[in-house]
Amino acid sequence: MKGSAFPMKTRRLGVGLASLALVVSAAACTGEGADATGAEGGGSDPVKVQIAPEDGAKKVRPDLPVTVTADNGEVKTVKITQSGGAADEKESPEGEGGGKKATAELNDVKGSLNKDKTEWVSTQTLVPGADIKVTATAENGDGEETEVVSEFSAEAATDGKKLEVQSNFPQSGETVGVGMPVIVNFDLPVTNKLQVENAIEVVSEEPAEGAWNWFGDKMAVFRPSEYWKPEQKVHVNMRLAGVQAADGVYGVKNQRLDFEVGREQITTIDDKSHQMVVERDGKEIKDFPISNGDASTLKYTTTSGVHLTMEKYAHLVMDSATVGVPKGHPDYYKLDVNWAVRFSNSGEFTHAAPWNGSLGQANMSHGCTNMSTADAKWFHDESLMGDPFIVEGTKRELEVDNGWGYWQRSWDEWLEHSKTGKADKTDDEGTPGASTSKPENGEKENAESGEKDQKDDKESAGAGN
């Protein structure tokens, strides 16, 4: 109970019975933080433990670190429990994965000790609006252990300034291709991008390294340096609760994303030979005749570069108005197509085109990759979101923010665009830096906006034929 004396547990190793019989108690102090001093007499001087924030503190900024210091001893254990608000969620919200155990693990506040073990500092932010209890133990040179407790409350996030994940790709439970990035869309602009990058941890079963890039102020994208190794599980721990994403804007909850990487399937199109080759796990399994954009205009030229398959439809209505060719224009069209697989946001799909008699011979479409009905159905059925789809030989280069063109950047370029500037190893726990701020820093760095906002990744209308 706040304001009352906390019992100090003491233990002395290798001393007499009289010393072992000592019972010591001390009150939780105010001012600098909660503290306690061990028993006096016999051997080493007593150890003094201090915790900040102090016991009884109200509305503590959730992105300020918890510190535990030991004077004349070493910090042995620190346990932080959080209750109230999002900290009481028993399960991850629908679609986020992880369940009760994962949610509890994400709310466990981690920290690090200095070299001489006299100071422990948290590296994870607190849940806004939660009640916090810090229990710490320290030990002096004679093995006498002292425990001290500090209880305080974290400041709640205010309406209109609560950062949440609006959507993410992939979603929990999905199986994806080896090129699939992790895409996180936020509901509010993020200016403290470094803080947010450091609060999200990507962990894979197979060792890899990756980094985050930003596309506008609301979209963060994680990509490995090379394609994921196939047949493995990937976990994304989003420890966003308490992270100050912008001035006065705090993440409100922690959540976890779990997905699997499936088999390796890579498709390559040669625009000049009008052929599509599909390789699976390093072996060619299909060779299809196709017809790409006729290149009469830039708009009708299929983009070259490393695309990713994004979504697929058994049936889709393609309307040229979605890419700026409105009804009434001489080039306007509206088509019903079958077995469509999207590979950009500029209206490019693979799909069945039974009307095209030039498959394997000439490029006759408005930018899409035309296929026979049987071939298009096979490709539709066998594609996973995030499969690499490479087009070679056209005069129109895929933009990095056109659909999921993130592999258009070299790894060095990708690192240059990361706010941390460092690769994060996915087989190790932890991120390149801490997500908390030192109290004296107060205001965080406001990073400049990245590229223009990316188009909606779930846009359903196409624009090619």
Residues 6+ apart with CB under 8 A from 8: 24, 25, 26, 36, 38, 146, 147, 148
Q: How many whole angstroms separate alpha carbon 409 and alpha carbon 414?
A: 6
* The pair of three-digit structure tokens given for residue 393, joined into one six-digit string: 């030989």
For residue 38, the one-letter residue type is G
* The pair of three-digit structure tokens given for residue 172, joined into one six-digit string: 């929990």
Question: Please, how many CA atoms are within 13 Å of residue 444, restricted to the half-sphere of its CB?
Answer: 24
With vertex at residue 332, the alpha carbon angle to CA 326 and CA 319, rounded to the nearest 5 degrees, is 75
Q: Is 29 tagged catalytic?
A: no
* Structure-token match 């009708």, residue found: 300
CB contact at 8 A, 203 and 237: yes
Beta strands 244-246 and 249-251 are antiparallel
Q: How far is CA 334 from CA 67, 282, 297, 318, 326, in A?
A: 63, 38, 19, 5, 10
* The pair of three-digit structure tokens given for residue 123, joined into one six-digit string: 């590296």
Q: How many whole angstroms separate alpha carbon 100 and alpha carbon 208?
A: 28
Backbone torsions φ then ψ of 374, nearest 5 degrees? -65, -40
The active-site residue out of 235, 274, 307, 368 is 368
Sheet holding 34-37, edge to edge: 34-37, 48-52, 67-71, 119-122, 111-113
Q: How many whole angstroms separate alpha carbon 311 and alpha carbon 180?
A: 12
| Long-range pairs for 317-320: beta carbons < 8 A, 24 or more residues apart | 317/461, 318/347, 318/349, 318/368, 318/461, 318/462, 318/463, 318/464, 318/465, 319/461, 319/462, 319/463, 320/347, 320/366, 320/463
* The pair of three-digit structure tokens given for residue 441, joined into one six-digit string: 């820093």
CB contact at 8 A, 461 and 322: yes
The active-site residue out of 274, 351, 366, 380 is 351
SS3 176: strand
Residues designated catalytic: 351, 368
